[in-house]
Amino acid sequence: MAEPTLLAETPEAPGAPPPKARPKWYRRPWIVPLFLIVGLFVAARLPSYLTFDTGDSLVELQPDFPEVHYLMLSGHILFGSIAIITCSMQVWPWLRQHHPKVHRISGRLYVFAGVVPSGVFAIIVSVMSVIGPAGKIGNLIGASLWFGFTFAGFVAARRRRFQEHRRWMIRSFALCTSIVLNRVWMVLFIVALMPFLDGYYGGDMDALIRDGAIASIWTSWIVNLMIAQWWLDRKPKRPRKPGAGRTAPATKVAVGA
């Protein structure tokens, strides 16, 4: 004879939501603009430093040894172009997820064919620059931090501490791309200082431009780092699971037959 069926109150496990599909590479709104801006920047700057003609330089050269200054500047721009292109590839999630080997190779190129040689040339060029002490110090600090953050990110990756690696490389990316924002800030500062041209600057447009350039050197990498740190420290809202906070309905469970 069968035993009576017992009733038990047990919570029903809610069904797990289907995994969220990752967006396609072209649906990330910042990918295409990033590569477009980087490509245009490199195309606009690099050709002027491949002619070996000091007259093509886009910045004022040291009058005592313009050829050496131009040569150092050319090395910085050439390897810096490699750095900014490969760095943009590093922060591309689709590439990292679907082609990890390409991500690793481009990462090594970023460090050893980009940051290291370009950073060395950047320090030399900063010392040789005619921008003045304030501008030189700003460039030297920015280049040193770029070195330090990139090295910390590389070491973290070698130790397989990928969360640390990601954080350091976001900071490195912020410093690498600060050169692009530097031009934007410079224009903004020059426009902001124009009302003072006749009074404070006595009509000296070169002095006004120099002050705008110095301000843009500091602002570009400081603001970029602040934005990067905000991005790292932000706390995105977690989506609420369907049915969260509701009492699960009771179900009958047969014990014995």
Higher pLDDT among residues 21 and 204, named by residue: 204
> Domain of 96?
27-177
Q: Look at residue 251 and tell me if it is in a domain.
A: no
Q: Is residue 146 part of a domain?
A: yes
| 228 domain-assigned | no
Q: Is residue 244 part of a domain?
A: no
pLDDT at 239: 56
Q: Which pLDDT score is estimated for 96?
A: 84
Model confidence at 30: pLDDT above 80: no
Please state, in angstroms and rounded to a whole number, the distance separating the CA atoms of residues 9 and 69.
81
Residue 11 pLDDT level (bands cut at 50, 70, 90): very low
pLDDT for position 31: 82
End-to-end CA distance of the chain: 9
Token pair 């980009």: residue? 114
Whether residue 41 lies inside any domain: the answer is: yes
Smallest CA-to-CA distance from 14 within 240, 254, 253, 238 is with: 240
DSSP code string of 101-156: HHHHHHHHIIIIIIIHHHHHHHHHHHHH-SS-HHHHHHHHHHHHHHHHHHHHHHHH
Q: Report yes or no on 200 lying in a domain.
A: no
238 within a domain of the structure (yes/no): no
Q: Based on the structure, what is the number of domains in the chain? A: 1
Mean pLDDT of 19-45: 76
Q: What pLDDT score was predicted for residue 32?
A: 85
Cα of 173 vs its chain's centroid, Å: 3
pTM of the model: 0.78
With beta carbons less than 8 A apart as the criterion, state whether 83 and 91 touch: no
For the cut 50, the answer to whether the pLDDT of residue 66 exceeds it is: yes
- Confirm if 176 and 142 have CB atoms less than 8 A apart: no
On whether residue 252 sits in a domain, the answer given is no
**H-run or E-run covering 10:** strand 10-11
pLDDT value, residue 256: 44
pLDDT tens digits, one per residue of 100-131: 899 999 999 999 999 999 999 999 999 999 99
Q: Residue 95: pLDDT band by 50, 70, 90 thresholds?
A: confident
- Residue 240, pLDDT score: 57
pLDDT above 90 for 17: no
- Quick check: 86 pLDDT over 80? yes
Percent of the chain clearing pLDDT 90 (strictly above):
70
